[in-house]
């Protein structure tokens, strides 16, 4: 009598498997009629927008919690620009007060802050430990520094759109540009508008 071959120990469900970038959780395979495919895709896209899934931030981009109702914080703004070249006589009066909340976050409901770790963007003045002010209401156009999610991985890079191709550009020659391939999924989570940098 022939001994039965042992069943291979592979296959089946893997913990954490599935494309999670878009929905923030594991996905499942299902069959739908071909004619219903566009309807299902539209429904899922609408569901994703409504849910506004909170991202799982990587170690090199740490979210900074904003106060729900930040109080006004005004500081003196002198009516004189400072020269980086030769010294010039200083004005001895204050022209107005500047509210830092309004200056840094004019659209606070669409703004979030991130702390950066790493030096892939030092060429545009973004250093390790800097805090980025990110506005989700702005359109990510060519040449803007953006917070991008590529296949579920976060990064801060300059967006380049040329001849129908999209690339994410670092600002450090030690890092390679990222060229978006057809099968990759890209989401833009906001445009960087300010950098808070300590000297």
Of 51-55, 93-97, 174-178, minimum mean pLDDT range:
51-55
- Domain residues for the domain of 188 are 55-69+107-199
Q: What is the mean pLDDT of residues 103-127?
A: 89
Strands 74-78, 94-99: pairing is: antiparallel
Predicted local confidence at residue 78, as pLDDT: 60
Query: Per mean pLDDT, which range of 22-31, 81-90, 120-129 is the poorest?
Result: 81-90
- Are 132 and 191 in the same domain? yes
Collapsing DSSP states into helix, strand and coil, what is residue 196? strand
The answer to the question of residue 48 being in a domain is yes
Say if residue 139 is in the same domain as residue 95.
no
Residues 116/123, Cβ–Cβ less than 8 Å: no
What's the total number of domains in the chain? Answer: 3
Shared domain for 39 and 115, answered yes or no, is no
36-50 residue pLDDT tens: 787 777 777 766 655
Range 173-189 average pLDDT: 88
**7 domain-assigned:** no
Single out the residue of 45, 6, 4, 2 nearest to residue 22, CA to CA.
45
Residue 185: inside a domain:
yes
64 shares a domain with 33: no
Q: Is the dihedral of CA 123, 139, 194, 62 positive or negative?
A: negative
**138 plus 193 within the same structural domain:** yes
Q: Are residues 114 and 174 in the same domain?
A: yes
pLDDT per residue as tens digits for the range 73-91 = 666 666 545 556 555 555 5
Task: Verify that 83 and 124 share a domain, yes or no.
Answer: no
CA dist., res. 168 & res. 160, Å (int): 6
pLDDT tens-digit map of 58-72: 666 666 666 666 666
Task: Please tell me the distance from the alpha carbon of residue 112 to that of residue 152, in angstroms, as a whole number.
Answer: 19
Residues belonging to the active site: 120, 157
Is residue 143 domain-shared with residue 127, that is, in the same domain? yes
Instruction: Indicate whether 9 belongs to any domain.
Output: no
């Amino acid at each position: 009598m022939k001994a039965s071959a042992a069943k291979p120990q592979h296959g089946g469900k893997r913990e954490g498997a599935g494309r999670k970038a878009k929905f923030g959780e594991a996905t499942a395979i299902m069959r739908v009629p071909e004619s219903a495919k566009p309807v299902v895709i539209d429904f899922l896209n609408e569901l994703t927008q409504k849910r506004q899934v909170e991202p799982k931030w990587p170690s090199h981009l740490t979210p900074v919690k904003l106060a729900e109702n930040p109080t006004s914080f005004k500081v003196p703004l002198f009516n004189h620009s400072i020269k980086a070249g030769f010294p010039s006589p200083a004005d001895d009066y204050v022209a107005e007060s500047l509210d830092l909340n309004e200056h840094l976050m004019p659209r606070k409901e669409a703004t979030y802050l991130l702390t950066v770790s790493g030096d892939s963007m030092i060429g545009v003045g973004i250093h390790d430990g800097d805090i980025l002010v990110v506005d989700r209401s702005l359109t990510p156009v060519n040449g803007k520094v953006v917070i991008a999610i590529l296949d579920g991985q976060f990064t801060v890079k300059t967006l380049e759109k040329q001849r129908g191709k999209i690339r994410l550009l670092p600002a450090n020659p030690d890092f390679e540009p990222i060229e978006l391939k057809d099968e990759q999924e890209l989401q833009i989570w906001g445009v960087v508008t300010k950098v808070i940098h300590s000297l």
